[in-house]
């Protein structure tokens, strides 16, 4: 049998291998009565039985799991939930059928919600539905999951998850589901890898026996070939070793060997990059690239779509600072309908802030979305490719105008601090001339513009070196300008993740480094070895 | 954040109204809904909420109905309260909303 590769969304990180348990809803049988009064009484007793059962479970647990179960108790205690069921029971429908009908309407209401958090509550209502049905039939319908197995199902309820032992491995592969579901939250807390949204799990004949779940990439392989399995097991061994080392250090804030505190921030390209990450591993987000929003198929994103994304990121950060960079299109990042085609030298052309100022109608939408998102956390806004102070001043005027307009319309908004990327040597040399709220050094462009060498041109790649004294001098100069003006200076380019440069970067006086999530553990380990 | 244009405080026949913006992370979600209804149930007054000043009004003591409202973060919650302890009830639910239901 050929192996089956499925791709979904990562909901809980980690790798797992194990036998497959197909979770299918058990059909409970019960003998119904012809008397509506008896059926209503049976439903009432089943609801009370389910409520008492959960209330009993809550006594032994705390925290998130208790909150999830308390929600179920509150729903079961509310007569409004069963009201429609009692209505049709009096018309002669059996208790189990009536309950199912009523709850399915409720479930459909959640599934149709716009907000993913509300959509994800459908699984809780399914849980409530099935638990009461189990009490009605007197049969335990909560599926038992064998420890260490890969659960393959359409969706899974919190009860089914909680009934299993996840301390000896195991993972979850769902056709539907959501990273915002209570089960995903539980899976992350228990360290069970989980992938959702795999699409229909259908097999020709035999269901699969074995599965490999990659909760980092969001992929599942059913019935792997021996070679695929061997490579996966190798990856697991490496990941386990690295994880053990990183876990210990990752939640600690970074300090050099001589005790200097270095803030470690994250670079991300989309909110999906944060799935399954504990915000405690970082001191905030140092760079959100917003190009991904503009690369999606349907033209330029509107204000609400941008706002929703920015807000999700700010909410994830739980009050830690989040720096969002305005659109940095052009150069090597063309965007259909926005950037200029066939520029003779796109890296020296209309890119970054230059493009935004040339297309204010697009820029204004982004600034409005940012002002609205700013009420949800500690947002900072950063302008790319700034070369002269007037660019910052013009952007600032646009930001002021959008903020004032929003406030006049009575829309919740805040004015985020506006800082600049320092990536053009002109800006690094005269950083103190810019009235920026902060400086963030973009080491990739700063290096290529200083050394006049692109890193993707093999013949000159060795010249493209951030460790070159000329580049380090520009970084030092920027750090010094920040110190004089009393504003923060960070570095968010690839050099921050290059641990061979960590000591040199810290020697320039930098105290804030921003790297992709995967590099956090490595960078923290490298910082710990630095002695100035 | 709430308009304290509570119409005629102390008067019980006329409903008291006020509004507040949902500031907590996930809107009037599972845990906030439970907290709000638990708080509301502590009063004898009839307490209703809506996403618009002119309704439709939802019983704030029913978690099932409150969840059906699916109020997202940033939404303005309007309250309408009638009953002898209405003033205290209104103050209590507003405080809960302002406080982000303790989840900030």
pLDDT in tens, B9-52: 444 467 888 888 888 777 888 888 999 999 999 999 999 999 98
For B68, the closest of A70, A109, A117 (CB atoms) is A109
Q: CB B30 to CB A121 under 8 A?
A: yes
Location of each CATH 1.10.274.10 domain in chain A: 36-137
| pLDDT at A456 exceeding the cut of 70 | no
Name the class of domain A251-529: alpha beta
- Strand boundaries in A328-456, DSSP class E: 378-383, 418-422, 438-441
Query: Do residues B15 and B80 make contact, with C-beta atoms less than 8 angstroms apart?
Result: yes
**Torsions phi, psi of A466, nearest 5?**
-65, -20
Q: Could you read off the pLDDT of A483-518 as tens digits, one per residue?
A: 999 999 999 988 998 888 999 999 999 999 999 887
What residues of A are in contact with residue B59 (Cβ under 8 Å)?
80
ipTM: 0.81
The CATH code of domain B16-102 reads: 3.30.1340.10
What residues of B are in contact with residue A75 (Cβ under 8 Å)?
63-64, 67
Residues of A labelled catalytic: 182, 492
Beta strand pairing call for A378-383 and A418-422: parallel
Q: CB A74 to CB B21 under 8 A?
A: no
Residue of B59, B63, B103 to mutate when probing chain A, most A C-beta within 10 A: B63
Contacts of A57 (CB under 8 A, 6+ apart): A69, A162
Residue A213 Cα distances to A5, A10, A244, angstroms: 10, 10, 19
Nearest chain A residue to B1 by CA distance is: A412
Q: Among A252, A251, A260, A250, which Cα is nearest to A505's?
A: A260
Q: Could you read off the pLDDT of A359-411 as tens digits, one per residue?
A: 999 999 999 999 999 999 999 999 999 999 999 999 999 999 999 999 999 99
Q: CB A67 to CB B31 under 8 A?
A: yes
Tokens of B30: 């599972």
Q: Which fold has domain A36-137?
A: Enzyme I; Chain A, domain 2 (1.10.274)
Alpha-carbon span A176 to A123, nearest angstrom: 10
Q: CB B64 to CB A68 under 8 A?
A: no
For B74, the closest of A67, A114, A412 (CB atoms) is A412
Query: A392-416 burial string, b = 16+ CB within 10 Å, else e?
Result: bebbeebbeebbeebeeeeebbbbb
Task: Please tell me if residue B95 touches chain A, with a CB cutoff of 8 Å.
Answer: no
Nearest chain B residue to A116 by CA distance is: B26
List, as ranges, residues 32-51 from B with C-beta within 8 Å of A. Answer: 33-34, 37-38
Alpha-carbon span B46 to A129, nearest angstrom: 29
Q: CB B59 to CB A70 under 8 A?
A: no
- In the numeric block, the tokens 């950083």 are attached to A431
Alpha-carbon span B78 to A261, nearest angstrom: 46
Alpha-carbon span A155 to A418, nearest angstrom: 44
Location of each CATH 3.20.20.60 domain in chain A: 251-529
Residue A357 Cα distances to A84, A392, B5, B85, angstroms: 58, 10, 44, 57
Average pLDDT over residues B77-94: 90
Instruction: Residue A3: count other Cβ atoms within 10 Å of its Cβ.
Output: 17
Instruction: Residue A494: count other Cβ atoms within 10 Å of its Cβ.
Output: 18
Q: Which fold has domain A4-24+143-241?
A: Glucose Oxidase; domain 1 (3.50.30)
- In the numeric block, the tokens 């509150």 are attached to A74
Of A19-28, A198-207, A242-251, which has the strongest mean pLDDT?
A: A198-207
């Amino acid at each position: 049998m050929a192996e089956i590769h499925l791709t979904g969304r990562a909901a809980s990180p980690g790798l797992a291998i194990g036998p497959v348990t197909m979770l299918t809803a058990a059909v409970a049988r019960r003998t119904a009565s012809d008397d509506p009064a008896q059926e209503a009484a049976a439903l009432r007793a089943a609801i009370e039985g389910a409520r008492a059962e959960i209330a009993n479970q809550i006594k032994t647990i705390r925290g998130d799991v208790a909150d999830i179960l308390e929600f179920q108790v509150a729903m079961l205690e509310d007569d409004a939930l069963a009201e429609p069921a009692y209505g049709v029971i009096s018309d002669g429908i059996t208790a189990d059928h009536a309950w199912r009908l009523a709850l399915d309407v409720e479930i459909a209401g959640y599934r149709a919600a716009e907000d993913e958090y509300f959509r994800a509550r459908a699984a809780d209502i399914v849980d409530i539905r099935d638990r009461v049905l189990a009490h009605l039939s007197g049969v335990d319908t909560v599926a038992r999951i064998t420890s260490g197995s890969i659960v393959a199902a359409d969706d899974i309820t919190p009860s089914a998850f909680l009934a299993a032992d996840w301390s000896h491995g195991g993972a979850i592969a769902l056709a539907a589901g959501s990273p915002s579901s209570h089960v995903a939250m539980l899976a992350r807390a228990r360290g069970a890898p989980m992938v959702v949204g795999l699409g229909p799990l259908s097999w020709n004949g035999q269901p699969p026996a074995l599965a490999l779940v990659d909760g980092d990439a969001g992929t599942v392989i059913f019935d792997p070939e021996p070679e695929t399995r061997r490579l996966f097991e190798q990856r697991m061994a490496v990941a386990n070793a690295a994880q053990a080392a990183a876990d210990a250090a990752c939640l600690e804030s970074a300090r050099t060997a001589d005790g200097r505190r270095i803030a470690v921030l994250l670079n991300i390209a989309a909110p999906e990059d944060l799935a399954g990450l504990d915000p405690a591993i970082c001191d905030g987000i140092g760079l959100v690239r917003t190009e991904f929003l503009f690369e999606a198929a349907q033209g330029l994103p509107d204000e609400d779509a941008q706002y929703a994304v920015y807000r999700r990121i700010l909410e994830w950060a739980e009050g830690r600072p989040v720096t969002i960079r305005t659109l940095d299109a052009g150069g090597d990042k063309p965007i259909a309908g926005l950037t200029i085609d066939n520029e003779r030298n796109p890296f020296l052309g209309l890119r970054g802030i230059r493009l935004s100022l040339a297309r204010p109608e697009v820029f204004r939408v982004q600034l409005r979305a940012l002002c609205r998102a700013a009420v949800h956390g500690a947002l900072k806004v950063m302008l790319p490719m700034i070369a002269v102070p007037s660019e910052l001043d013009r952007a600032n005027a646009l930001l002021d105008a959008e903020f004032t307009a929003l406030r006049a319309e009575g829309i919740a908004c805040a004015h985020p601090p506006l800082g600049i990327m320092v990536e053009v040597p002109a800006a690094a040399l005269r950083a103190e001339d810019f009235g920026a709220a902060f400086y963030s050094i973009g080491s990739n462009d700063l290096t290529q513009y200083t050394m006049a060498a692109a890193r993707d041109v093999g013949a000159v790649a060795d010249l493209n070196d951030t460790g070159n004294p000329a580049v380090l001098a520009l970084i030092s100069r920027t750090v010094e300008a920040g110190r004089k003006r009393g504003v923060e200076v960070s570095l968010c380019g690839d050099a921050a993740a290059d641990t061979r440069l960590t000591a040199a970067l810290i020697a320039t006086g930098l105290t804030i480094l921003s790297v992709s999530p995967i590099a956090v553990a490595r960078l923290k380990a490298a910082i710990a070895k630095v002695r100035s | 954040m709430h308009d304290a244009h509570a119409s005629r405080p102390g008067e019980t026949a006329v409903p008291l109204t006020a509004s507040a913006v949902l500031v907590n992370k996930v809107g009037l979600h599972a845990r906030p809904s439970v907290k709000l209804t638990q708080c509301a149930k502590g009063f004898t007054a009839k307490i209703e909420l809506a996403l618009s000043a002119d309704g439709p009004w939802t019983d704030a003591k029913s978690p099932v109905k409150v969840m059906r409202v699916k109020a997202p973060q940033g939404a303005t919650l309007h309250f309408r309260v009638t009953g002898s302890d209405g003033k205290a009830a209104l103050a209590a639910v507003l405080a809960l909303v302002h406080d982000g239901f303790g989840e900030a």
